[in-house]
Structure 1
Amino acid sequence: MPRRRRPPRPGALADLSPTRILSQIALLQLAYYGCAGILIIFTALVAGKEINADLLFSWRTLRGDTTVGWTLGLVWVLNSLTCAIFILLLVARSKLVFDFALTVHFIHLIVTSLYCHAIPANLFWWALQLCSATIMTSLGVWACQWRELRPIDFGSKPTARNQPAADEGAGESRGRGRGRGRDGAGEYEMVGMNGGENNV
């Protein structure tokens, strides 16, 4: 007799499947670079600077001794604020926010190192990544916990205690007209105590 396979446990196993995690990482990374690219292009156009890929992928442009470096640093901080929203939409679990935030920045480290053919040696770049990861994790955890702790509405109707007095009066008058109780469970008939005993 073949053994019956146990059905998959709902919840945790489905949420932690490798395919789902990889797709979430890919979408979050695309959102990370997409928002950063939009912010960098907008800032470069306003400042009258030349737009190139170095502004997005090179760690050499993030310097603490130039105006462009500080401007790009501010753009990346704003980008971390925006990505907290994508973490809420894509991850939606506070326990996984830290892992996803570190994964995004680790992938960014690999992409930056491959683009520049060198590991980042700028202290300003490392400090900015630490600040960005901290902001993304803090806001992401707060947003996901706020979403997790929201009360669940099952679509139940308000009870008689929560209804206004006018509604209660109207309900009672309708109940007496139809011969039904306030709970609507069935029809009731008032029988006197003596009458009830004689019938028995």
Structure 2
Amino acid sequence: MPRRRRPPRPGALADLSPTRILSQIVVLQLAYYACAAVLILFTALVAGKELSIDLLFSWRSLRGDTTVGWTLGLVWVLNSLTCVVFILLLIARSKLVLDFALTIHFIHLVVTSLYSHAVPTNLFWWALQVCSATVMTSLGVWACQWRELRPISFGAKAPARPQGSGPAQDDGVGESRGRGRGRGRDGAGEYELASMGQESDHV
């Protein structure tokens, strides 16, 4: 007898779709470079430095012995913080954050090597990539887990009670003492709760 295959989990095919994964990678990579370009442009204008595309794609601009190199390093770290927002909006799954963060930095390595016509040999550049990937992964996982663990609201609201009123009581359940009216459990007719003293008088 042939073994029956286990039905796929709902949404599993959509999550593993190569087209969807590729589109997410492209969007994240474009957002990564767009945010970096804005931050570098703003920093260059404030510092009065000459703006060049080498600041974005060349690894030779990131040096630990110059002020420009340290400033660019800070800009790239801030860029990784900004990309956490895009990861939260596009990925929203904590177990996928590491894969996408490493993919972004790997593509950046390829682009930088092709633009500079050489593999980066600057230790400051490599240390910056490790720091950026660590920040992006740790904060991305935390943000996605926070979103995953948020309580689900179904839109049910408790009935409003006037100010100064006592604690809410259920019909027929909370009225355990004194007099009260309610509807029977089967919904037929009404009943009245009498006090213990009245019951003893009838006996």
If the length of structure 1 is used for normalisation, what is the TM-score? 0.79
CA distance in 2, matches of 1:124, 1:168: 64
CA drift of 1:99 comes to: 0.2
Taking only aligned residues, the RMSD between alpha carbons, in angstroms, comes to 3.0
Q: 1:181 aligns with which of 165, 180, 183?
A: 183
CA drift of 1:11 comes to: 2.0
Give the count of matched residue pairs.
178
CA distance in 1, matches of 2:184, 2:127: 67
CA drift of 1:158 comes to: 2.5
Which amino acid is the alignment partner of residue 48 of structure 2? Answer: G
Is residue 72 of structure 2 the alignment partner of residue 93 of structure 1?
Answer: no
CA drift of 1:104 comes to: 0.1
Matches within 5 A, 1:1-200: 9-158=9-158, 165=165, 168=168, 181=183, 186-190=187-191
2:199 is aligned to none
CA distance in 1, matches of 2:40, 2:184: 65
Q: Aligned pair in 2 of structure 1 residues 13, 164: CA closer, same or farther (>3 Å)? A: farther
Q: Any conservation in 1 of the 2:183–2:190 contact (CA below 8 Å)? A: no
5+ unaligned residues in a row in structure 2: which ranges?
A: 1-5, 173-180, 193-203
CA distance in 2, matches of 1:107, 1:182: 69
CA distance in 1, matches of 2:184, 2:145: 40
Partner secondary structure for residue 79 of structure 1? helix
Partner secondary structure for residue 55 of structure 2? helix
CA distance in 1, matches of 2:99, 2:121: 24
CA drift of 1:186 comes to: 3.6
CA distance in 2, matches of 1:109, 1:164: 65
Which amino acid is the alignment partner of residue 111 of structure 1? Answer: V
1:197 is aligned to none
Partner secondary structure for residue 22 of structure 1? helix
Once the two structures are superposed, residues 52-93 of structure 1 have per-residue CA deviations (whole angstroms, 9 ceiling, x without a partner) of: 110000000000000000000000000011111111011000
Q: Any conservation in 1 of the 2:44–2:51 contact (CA below 8 Å)? A: yes
CA distance in 2, matches of 1:48, 1:124: 24
Q: Any conservation in 2 of the 1:180–1:186 contact (CA below 8 Å)? A: no
Q: Aligned pair in 2 of structure 1 residues 68, 164: CA closer, same or farther (>3 Å)? A: same
Q: Aligned pair in 2 of structure 1 residues 26, 156: CA closer, same or farther (>3 Å)? A: same
CA distance in 1, matches of 2:184, 2:36: 60
Q: Any conservation in 2 of the 1:32–1:83 contact (CA below 8 Å)? A: yes
CA distance in 1, matches of 2:164, 2:15: 44
CA drift of 1:10 comes to: 1.6
Please, which moves more after superposition, 120-129 or 7-16? 7-16
Which amino acid is the alignment partner of residue 17 of structure 1? Answer: S
5+ unaligned residues in a row in structure 1: which ranges?
A: 1-5, 173-178, 192-200
Which amino acid is the alignment partner of residue 28 of structure 1? Answer: L
CA drift of 1:9 comes to: 4.1
1:176 is aligned to none
CA distance in 1, matches of 2:81, 2:183: 56
CA drift of 1:180 comes to: 6.2
Which amino acid is the alignment partner of residue 189 of structure 1? Answer: E
CA distance in 1, matches of 2:184, 2:33: 60
